[in-house]
Chains A and B, each alone.
Chain A
Amino acid sequence: MTIERSILIVDDETELAEELGEFFVSMGWQARVCFTAPAAYAALQEGLAPDCLLTDLRIADHDGAELVAQVRQMPKDLQPKVVAIITGHVVSETEAADFNADYLFVKPVDPVLVMEVVERLLSDATASDREAMLRG
């Protein structure tokens, strides 16, 4: 029995965010969808603490990168274990590090792939956390 995972999806492309959320929910995830960066940040500060934050890079007036930076400043227990970016911009996937994110998806992307990658990243993160705890 797998533990229920959670994800916060942030994109001003409402239909995309909705479809992606619907997909994750159908796969047994807890999904929360926000259309603006401030809304997402507020939710995080309220202690949503999702396993994964998936944000668009350019969200209306606000910068997805800014949101990522803000999240990185939060207390460790409030931070999502995995932070990923999904963007329509023509950027290489190796640029993810530039934004201090764990992964960078380029639109259009298959949601199945998104979930697989996120799950892999989560298990990696959990493993590294466990290692850290053991070492500590």
Chain B
Amino acid sequence: MPAALIVTTLGLFLATGMLYVSQNQHRALLSATVRSSGWVAYQAQLEYVKTQNQFEVTTLRLNRRSLDELQFRLELLRSRLPLLYDSDEGRLLQEVAAQKDVLQHYEGVLDSLIDSLPNLSPDAPATLPALRSAFYEIEPLGRVLQRVLMQSVAYNEEIFRREREVAASPAVVPFALLFVSGTCLVAILFMDGRRDRLRLAEVEAAKSEVTAVQDNLRAIIEAMPLGTIIVDPDGDQVRFINPSAQTLVDPSPQHPEWKRLIRLAFETASDANGRPTGSISMAFTKPNGEIVSLRGMVGSVIWEGRPQILILLSDTSGTRNAELQLMQAAKLSTLGEMATAIAHELNQPLAVIKMAVANARRLVLSEADSEAITSKLDRIGTQVDRAKRITDQVRRYARMPSDQTASFSCRTAVELASGFVAEQYRAAGIRMSLEMDISPDLMLSGDQTMFEQVIVNLLVNARDAYDNKKHDTSQAQVTVRARTTGPDVIIAVEDGAGGIREDVLGQIFDAFCTTKSADKGTGLGLSMARNVVRDMNGTIVGANVEGGACFTITLPVGRSQAQDVA
């Protein structure tokens, strides 16, 4: 529609312009004609009258001078005649053009008269009659010229009338056209304005909607119990913290402790090789000394129009403490199950000590040499150390798990865990084989005791599996394998006790899922194991292999000690 209006307006403007140009040309032609028309007729008539007058004068005062004057007049008149039919007017007016032959006839008359005049003598008696006859000969020319003049005047009057008309209604059509095109222009402008206003209103509405959404989002983020921190990737500068996050460090984003929290979050959210994992599980010491467990994630976000880093943190200290308590309960339960085995193990050094003491006493009473007695005392000392190692292990195992992450040797931890259950295995007649294809320098990151608990749990489960099946213990064997694959370390615990029932295989990592009798298992072991491994950014899977079950733990290798020092 506006396009049609624009085309119409342009057309109208063009038409108006052309009309104006044509009127102007018309007006110019008219004035040019007015300037030329009539004038030649008038001049010719005037010359005719002057010539007649000279005839009169010459007949009254016939002398050489008056004759010359007459000749001059005649020549002038002769020169005016062709102008009549050769002028614009002459060509324009039929009546004037029709007189061309008549006028040319008189031109011939005048020419012969002009030629004869010098031959006339003023004194000769024939001169006067000749002049009179010439006078009468050209008299009809006066009437022709009178007619031509009348025609010209009539024509001029017509022209004047038209000119007056043009002057009276000089620009009705252009004005009308201008009015129409002006209206069109106004319409276009109005429609354009209306459309722009509508668009502006839409933009304004969208803008205010966006602002409202942003305000809402901000209000939601502010009210969220989840700690929200937005960090500028340039220089880890904190851009925004919601009230929940403020309780972690300080309400001011400028507080220097934020950098420590952010660095820690970035560290836990990426694995040993700096690959981002996104998820955070860490312990953080607040500036006031309180230690909190934090769970959350790191992601990217567009904030205030720029890509920034979003850190979401949830203070899980409560649940985490409950989880740790549960883990401790599960551990103590395992420890309880192992009590008889531990007592047996402890009884061995005690028995040696008891014997050695009896022998030492005898040596003392028989006054034997001191060397023999010292050797007995040395043996007693060695056995005390052995007993201490056992109690140390128990103490270590019974220690409350913490959320503190540290670097520890994977191999040492697996060996400690296996050592802890070794006596049980011996008691149960199950062979334990360690195939450790890893260096003692290979470090893992997490809580070592909890990781050991995972291995102990798997080993205790394997032992119980043999118990459950009433297996032929002479063939019973559990293999612990450790090896590295790329950036990961893989620890597998495999038994040959017949495997896990297919119907429970899918739920083995669920809490309270157990195949053991109530006095042997709580159903928390594998659930805890999964949590511990997950906290270490690893995975644990259980599967049936030929003749038994195999649990495989995959963990990212932590930084080596050397790197730690650096």
Contacts and interface: CB of A to CB of B under 8 A. Distances in A.
Same complex for A and B? Answer: yes
Interface of A: 13, 15-16, 19-20, 22-23, 26, 58, 60-61, 63, 86, 88-90, 106-112
A20 B355 CA distance: 6
Contacts of B353: 108
Interface of B: 340, 343-345, 347-348, 350-356, 358-359, 362, 379, 383, 426-427, 429, 431
B354 A109 contact: yes
Contacts of A63: 429
A106 B347 CA distance: 9
Main secondary structure of the interface of B (DSSP, over half): helix
Contacts of A20: 355
B457 to A, nearest CB: 23
Nearest to B340: A90
A39 to B, nearest CB: 19
Contacts of A22: 359
B428 to A, nearest CB: 10
A110 B379 contact: no
Contact of B358 (A13, A106, A112): A112
Contacts of A110: 354, 358
A23 B350 contact: no
A93 B109 CA distance: 184
B345 to A, nearest CB: 7
A53 B352 CA distance: 19
Contacts of A23: 355, 358-359, 362
B471 to A, nearest CB: 15
A19 B344 contact: no
Contacts of B340: 89-90
B354 A111 contact: yes
Best-surrounded residue of B345, B348, B426 (most CB of chain A within 10 A): B348
Contact of B362 (A26, A60, A61, A90): A26
A13 B349 CA distance: 9
A90 B343 contact: yes
Nearest to B347: A88
Given A23-B362, A90-B340, A13 B427 contact: no
Contacts of B345: 88
A90 B353 CA distance: 18
A3 B200 CA distance: 123
A90 B354 CA distance: 17
A75 B463 CA distance: 38
Contacts of A106: 347
A23 B355 CA distance: 8
5 contacts: A13-B352, A16-B351, A23-B359, A89-B427, A111-B354
6 residue pairs, one from A and one from B, having the closest CB atoms: A19-B355, A107-B351, A88-B347, A108-B350, A108-B351, A108-B354
A19 B357 CA distance: 9
A62 B345 CA distance: 17
A19 B344 CA distance: 19
A128 to B, nearest CB: 30
A111 B358 contact: yes
B427 A58 contact: yes
A107 B359 contact: no
A111 B427 contact: no
Nearest to B346: A88
Contacts of B348: 13, 16, 88, 107
Contact of B347 (A15, A60, A61, A108): A108
Best-surrounded residue of A58, A88, A106 (most CB of chain B within 10 A): A88
Given A108-B350, A111-B359, 19 more contacts: A13-B352, A16-B348, A16-B355, A19-B355, A19-B359, A23-B355, A58-B426, A63-B429, A88-B343, A88-B344, A88-B347, A88-B348, A90-B343, A90-B344, A107-B350, A107-B351, A108-B351, A108-B352, A111-B355
A23 B352 CA distance: 12
B338 to A, nearest CB: 12
Contacts of A86: 351
Contacts of A88: 343-345, 347-348, 351
A13 B347 CA distance: 11
